[in-house]
Structure 1
Amino acid sequence: MPLYFGHSAKDMKGSDTPLVQVEDRDALGELIRGMHAGTYPRGAVVEAPPQFDVWSAFADVHVFVQAAGGLVIDEKGRLLAIRRLGKWDLPKGKVEKGEAIDEGAVREVQEECGLKEVELVELVTSTWHTYERKGKAYLKRTDWFLMRSSSKERLVAQSEEDIEEVRWLDAAGVRMMELDTYPSLLPVLHAWRARTA
């Protein structure tokens, strides 16, 4: 469920996305409770007055998690994808304390897919999402990097991370993936497609 934050959010409003006025921290708390209760299944556009930094207030009530992942292509232009818990996904994970974000992205790709040689190219996009675990609310930022690797390397799924399969996907495979992945990955795949087209 996407949330869009702004001080004049009317221009961001989609036809089926409700506009929610948030004047202070109490109203923000109501929004967050509604978000977790499923009140906004299509997301919400959050509008706040200029004197209220709604994004900082939202971040303050969550534990921040920095993650990084890879949009890895091979010499044929295919995208590396993983199947985790029955859904197609991209290799990613938490950045370790003291680790550079781009180094964490490469490490996660290597660990989750069994690759040894991975070339980092550039940052493509960043995504944010929230989740709850053991009564705590988390706000995760994932930085997505374009990478290159060889299809000659043997792919090995990291089973301890619940990865069932690792596969190189051609254009038709990526379209299939888009039908069976998390909604938060769709903008990442679109950004990758725009960079590699």
Structure 2
Amino acid sequence: MKRVLAAGGVVINQNNELLMIFRRIIWDLPKGHLEKKETMEQCALREVKEETGLQSLELIRFLGISEHVYFDNKLNEEAIKETHWYEMKGDKDEPLQPLYSESIERVLWVKSGLVMRYLEYSFDNLKPIIQRSSLFTTG
């Protein structure tokens, strides 16, 4: 099975809220495919900016890697997506803009006390990544 590389962000604002996107009836984190000549860090920042509209982001640290199998329409076959996750700081006062062309319907700051509830309607492999972030380790 082909391996597809991607990167994404666990973005936390000054109110200790997590940035989540709503796409195809699932709450998710912004992420996307690695482009040629791009580092994982550059990919993560670019994808968060594109999918959420946030422009002022600060990369904090690497959180880990998740993997899942999905159907890749470009390849016309199943593939393994290996996503590299980075914690980032974002500004809650900056406007959010969903990338509708990527089926993102909503972008939302989720209060830390509600994150686990949102994760009930998300992918199982996101929970351990988010739990490594400062949202859970310092707050």
TM-score clears 0.5: yes
For these two proteins, the number of residue pairs brought into alignment is: 136
Stretches of structure 1 that go unaligned for 5 or more consecutive residues are: 1-61
- Displacement, 1:185? 1.4
- Displacement, 1:99? 0.5
- Tell me the equivalent position of 1:187: 128
- Displacement, 1:173? 2.5
Counterpart amino acid of 2:81?
Answer: K
Instruction: Pick one of 14, 23, 26 that aligns with 1:87.
Output: 26
- Tell me the equivalent position of 1:139: 80
Asked if 1:97 is matched to 2:36, the reply is: yes
Structure (1/2) with the larger helix percentage: 1
- What SS is found at the alignment partner of 2:125? helix
Stretches of structure 2 that go unaligned for 5 or more consecutive residues are: none
- What SS is found at the alignment partner of 1:183? coil
Structure (1/2) with the larger strand percentage: 2
Counterpart amino acid of 1:163?
Answer: I
Instruction: Pick one of 78, 86, 107 that aligns with 1:166.
Output: 107
Counterpart amino acid of 1:169?
Answer: V
Instruction: Pick one of 50, 53, 65 that aligns with 1:111.
Output: 50
- Tell me the equivalent position of 1:3: none
Question: In the aligned structure 1, how far is the partner of 2:85 from the partner of 2:138?
Answer: 14
CA deviations on 1:137-171 (whole Å, 9 max, x unpaired) are 31111011000011110000000010010011112
Question: In the aligned structure 1, how far is the partner of 2:85 from the partner of 2:20?
Answer: 13
Q: Which is greater in Rg? A: 1
Relative contact order, higher structure (CA 8 A, sep 6+): 2
Please give the TM-score of this superposition, normalised by the length of structure 2.
Answer: 0.91
Counterpart amino acid of 2:107?
Answer: V
- Displacement, 1:92? 0.5
Asked if 1:127 is matched to 2:63, the reply is: no
Counterpart amino acid of 1:146?
Answer: E
- What SS is found at the alignment partner of 2:128? helix
- Displacement, 1:194? 4.2
- Displacement, 1:131? 2.0
* CA-based RMSD: 1.4
Q: Percent identity?
A: 35
Please give the TM-score of this superposition, normalised by the length of structure 1.
Answer: 0.65
Question: In the aligned structure 1, how far is the partner of 2:17 from the partner of 2:123?
Answer: 20
